[in-house]
Homo-oligomer: A and B are copies of this chain.
């Protein structure tokens, strides 16, 4: 007879915490970790960069996908780390600590929570953030699983890179990828069974479930003099429009650079009979960095040029064009905000 699976309802809060704590790493930035009313983290230049983000079951992730994949706690933990670390990266900073609130139904398996803690830890390490660790958290009950992470980081004594500083003539550059997570989402929501996917297609699913934002790139961009930056979490057209609007400029994208991104998605596009450019222009969640740099400077690794910043043609509405053509003309305006 199979044993009944242990659920969070079977444990006290302290019992559940005793399962979680051994799965977390510590870092030198966390001066006082979990166990008191609050944690204490280092803020060496006298400022802290801070952001918050929630993932809710069936809104931001599914436990069971149409193609048979089951999102693990590990996936959700990894993705929570990635999304939040990316927000600090996008300011030119480096994350130093996370505080994590996890609410869930009583019937949630304890193994899911352990897996979540493992995913958080692996995400922090795997994304290259060795100075960051979980400083504290909160456990609670709810009708659905919801994970909220707040992240604290340091700017290394530099000014933050905002969305609002792009200048006409700047080079528009990208670090990381576009459309991989969106292609992976399309595969997850398709009826093509998980087991039948090629390794290349499966890697796109991984990009959705466990994204790998380019975490070293933000501080490098800040040091190199980036004039504006943000992470692409809602898609290039939409987020590019936000950067353009905040800066009072227009953006012009290079179709050759976009095509290179689209080519990497062919394995999914041909299978699903989709246009990969939809994912490149409309897909978020790869958490690449979109940044503007003064023309002529050597772009820091791993940034590559994907277009240019132009003077606003129409009252600073923040228009994003492709090779000088409006998005309406080339058929991509449905991704604009």
Contact = CB atoms under 8 A, between A and B. Distances in A.
Residue picked from A12, A46, A48, A56, most chain B C-beta under 10 Å? A48
Interface stretch (A118-126, A155-163, A173-181, A200-208): A155-163
Residue picked from A43, A136, A150, most chain B C-beta under 10 Å? A150
Given A42-B47, A46-B46, A52 B101 contact: yes
A97 interface: yes
Given A59-B142, A140-B60, A40 B48 contact: yes
Residue picked from A35, A50, A87, most chain B C-beta under 10 Å? A50
A36 B150 CA distance: 15
Given A36-B163, A59-B142, A140-B59, A41 B51 contact: no
Given A146-B142, A150-B99, A38 B56 contact: no
Interface string A44-77: 1111111111101011100000000000000000
A38 B83 CA distance: 12
A55 to B, nearest CB: 8
Interface string A77-89: 0000000001110
Interface in A120-163: 135-138, 140-144, 146, 148, 150-153, 155, 160, 162-163
Nearest to A153: B38
Contact of A36 (B60, B137, B160): B160
Contact of A51 (B31, B38, B60, B230): B38
A273 interface: no
Nearest to A144: B143
Contacts of A103: 54, 56, 59, 146
A195 interface: no
A198 interface: no
Contacts of A138: 52-54, 148
A50 B32 CA distance: 10
**What's the number of copies of this chain in the assembled complex?**
2
A328 interface: no
A14 interface: yes
A274 to B, nearest CB: 26
Given A103-B146, A140-B56, A40 B47 contact: yes
A90 B153 CA distance: 23
A184 interface: no
B39 A148 contact: no
27 contacts: A32-B162, A36-B163, A37-B87, A37-B163, A37-B231, A38-B50, A38-B51, A38-B90, A38-B93, A38-B151, A39-B49, A40-B47, A40-B155, A43-B47, A50-B97, A51-B99, A52-B150, A54-B146, A56-B140, A56-B141, A56-B142, A58-B143, A59-B140, A101-B148, A142-B144, A144-B144, A152-B152
